[in-house]
Amino acid sequence: MKNRREFIRKFAAGGLALAASNKVAIGKEVYELNSNLLPHRSFSANNQINLALIGVGIQGFSNARAAVQVPGIKIVAACDLYSGRLIRAQELYGKEVKVTKDYREILQMEEVDAVCISTTDHWHDHITIAALKAGKAVYCEKPMVHQLEEGLAVVDAEKKYGLPLQVGSQRVSSILTEKAAELFAQGWIGELNLVEISADRASSGGAWQYSIPTDAGPDTVDWESYIGDAPKVPYDSNRFFRWRNYQDYGTGIAGDLFVHSFSSLHAITGSLGPERIFGTGGLRFWKDGRDVPDITLGLYDYPATEKHPAFNVQMRVSFVDGSRSPSVMRLVGTEGVIDLKNSSVILKRTKVSTQPTYGGWDSFDTFSEAQQKDFERWFAAQNGTPRATVQEPEEIIYTSPKGYSNHVDHWAYFAESIRNGTALLEDSAFGLRAAGPSLATNDSLFEKKIIHWDPIGMKKI
């Protein structure tokens, strides 16, 4: 990447432009970011981290694939309530991997240093607290909790037992998020006032219509253990393998996807969260027995803090997006925007003009000729003659390297915390401040009212 000081000098000079009409566009500049070096560090034999997987469904195996790319992490045990996944865990990670359908057996294994909890949402708080009490470091999938009232108990448990707890929204550890945070902190877009977020989908898999194994049934699935504190119902393969479709076990679009956006936004801006929340949406297409919407929208009021001005957020996910529009997070400021996409951060700068521009959609042309001349003389006296400016690019684009994985980086930070006691950005408080507005969006949607949220105390008010 080119020297950062050169980039700052160039943009600082260009920032003297008085109006957009005085700027000459010269295209784009593209830089490739350096990948995080944590995953490539060596480790000693006594620094090996023995990891147990609790829940090895889609995300459980995704976490496993990322974790084993970090030197020194070894999978030694796996727990799941479906027999086929335990077989698959041993196929992938060795017959020596201990398997069980009872997570409590995992917590009793002295050789286990850390657990990865990738269960249904309604088990997150129970297993997280039990694991911390058993002396295990915890990587817990997002959202950290299933219900808002469960959150503070997890935060208290992390404080009480003093062990690393990382929530699994991996974008927080992305080099793209880090670059966006740097650009935001340096003030390149001026005063933030609006954030626009969309992450639409247009596929059956994206809408949680996951494959169900042909041997699924009461003989291969421990249904009673699965239900836990959820309402008692007869065995249902859809409720087990497509659990995100049901409020009893999952948290809908907001808990699955909005929480990622809140996590990234808070990492970029340093925000603790919104104070007013309004959610809406509905079930428009995937009428397959699910009791959660397939379209969810949210509006959020963020208060001013020492780290940012007051701003608004509009967030949207549709599972019936025929346009197949790309996912994007856009931070809009008074002097530019930062766009975050799958593999890039794009900075565009256009300062908002607060003075008349003498043309286009303006009242100037309605003045008499004499008044137009008087107005031009007055304007020149007030504002001076525009200076020539240094030419600057229309866009600065930062891309991640080919093959880069923020998921691996997220696991690398977790390993670093276990080994060296380094603080984690996405600890339980951070995780609750992302889960809180997400779950409150559901409350607003179903209760049809605005929810007031305390981002400092992490509770509804």
Task: For 267-285, write each residue's pLDDT tens digit.
Answer: 999 999 999 999 999 999 9
Q: Is the pLDDT of residue 73 over 60?
A: yes
Listed residues 169, 188, 205: the one ending a domain: 169
CA 453-454-460 angle, to 5 degrees, is 50
- Is residue 197 located within the same domain as residue 335? yes
Query: What global pTM score does this model have?
Result: 0.90
Q: Is the pLDDT of residue 121 over 70?
A: yes
The span from the CA of 172 to the CA of 266, in Å, is: 9
Q: Which residue is it, tokens 């400016």?
A: 389
Residue 72 Rama label (left phi>0; alpha psi -120 to 50; beta): left
* 407 contacts 42 by C-beta, under 8 angstroms: no
Which of 142-151, 232-241, 299-308, 324-333 has the least mean pLDDT? 324-333
- DSSP sequence for 100-141: ES-HHHHHT-TT--EEEE-S-GGGHHHHHHHHHHTT-EEEEE
What is the per-residue pLDDT for 178? 96
pLDDT digits (tens, 9 = 90+) for 46-66: 789 999 999 999 999 999 999
- Is residue 199 located within the same domain as residue 296? yes
- Is residue 437 located within the same domain as residue 308? yes
What is the per-residue pLDDT for 2? 37
Q: What is the residue range of 393's domain?
A: 4-36+172-354+388-403+428-460
What is the per-residue pLDDT for 163? 98
Q: Is the pLDDT of residue 24 over 60?
A: no
Tell me the C-alpha to C-alpha distance, in Å, between residue 167 and each of 98, 293, 365, 418, 430. Answer: 25, 25, 58, 14, 8
The span from the CA of 174 to the CA of 72, in Å, is: 21
- Is residue 86 located within the same domain as residue 128? yes
- CB-based burial, 118-147: b 16+ in 10 Å, e otherwise: bbbbbbbbbbbbbbbebebbbbbbbbbbbe
Residue 420 counted as domain residue: no
- Is residue 14 located within the same domain as residue 126? no
Cα-to-chain-centroid distance, residue 268: 10
- Is residue 24 located within the same domain as residue 56? no
Residue 422 counted as domain residue: no
How would residue 383 be classed by pLDDT, with cut points 50, 70 and 90?
confident
pLDDT digits (tens, 9 = 90+) for 419-446: 999 999 999 999 999 999 999 999 999 9
Residue 446 counted as domain residue: yes
Q: What is the mean pLDDT of residues 160-166?
A: 98
Residue 374 counted as domain residue: no
Q: What is the mean pLDDT of residues 140-166?
A: 98
- Is residue 16 located within the same domain as residue 151? no
What is the per-residue pLDDT for 19? 29
Residue 361 counted as domain residue: no
What is the per-residue pLDDT for 362? 86
Amino acid, res. 268: I
Residue 261 counted as domain residue: yes
- Is residue 95 located within the same domain as residue 30? no
The span from the CA of 61 to the CA of 52, in Å, is: 12
Residue 376 counted as domain residue: no
Q: Residues with Cβ < 8 Å from 12, sequence gap 6 or more?
A: none
Q: What is the mean pLDDT of residues 308-314?
A: 98
CB neighbours of residue 333 within 10 Å: 22
Q: Which residue is it, tokens 């049901």?
A: 246
Tell me the C-alpha to C-alpha distance, in Å, between residue 150 and each of 246, 458, 460. Answer: 18, 11, 12
Residue 333 counted as domain residue: yes
- Is residue 246 located within the same domain as residue 329? yes
Listed residues 125, 140, 169: the one ending a domain: 169
Q: Is the pLDDT of residue 373 over 80?
A: yes
What is the per-residue pLDDT for 390? 61
CB neighbours of residue 311 within 10 Å: 22
Give strand pairing partners of 211. none
Q: What is the mean pLDDT of residues 188-193?
A: 96
- Is residue 85 located within the same domain as residue 153? yes
In 3-state terms the chain splits into helix, strand, coil percentages (rounded to 5) of 40, 20, 40
- Is residue 276 located within the same domain as residue 153? no
For the domain that residue 203 is a member of, what is the CATH number?
3.30.360.10
Q: What is the mean pLDDT of residues 143-172?
A: 98
Q: Residues with Cβ < 8 Å from 137, sequence gap 6 or more?
A: 113, 114, 115, 163, 164, 165, 414, 417, 418
The structural domain count of the chain equals 2
The span from the CA of 454 to the CA of 461, in Å, is: 6
Listed residues 121, 142, 169: the one ending a domain: 169
For the domain that residue 102 is a member of, what is the CATH number?
3.40.50.720
- Is residue 151 located within the same domain as residue 276? no
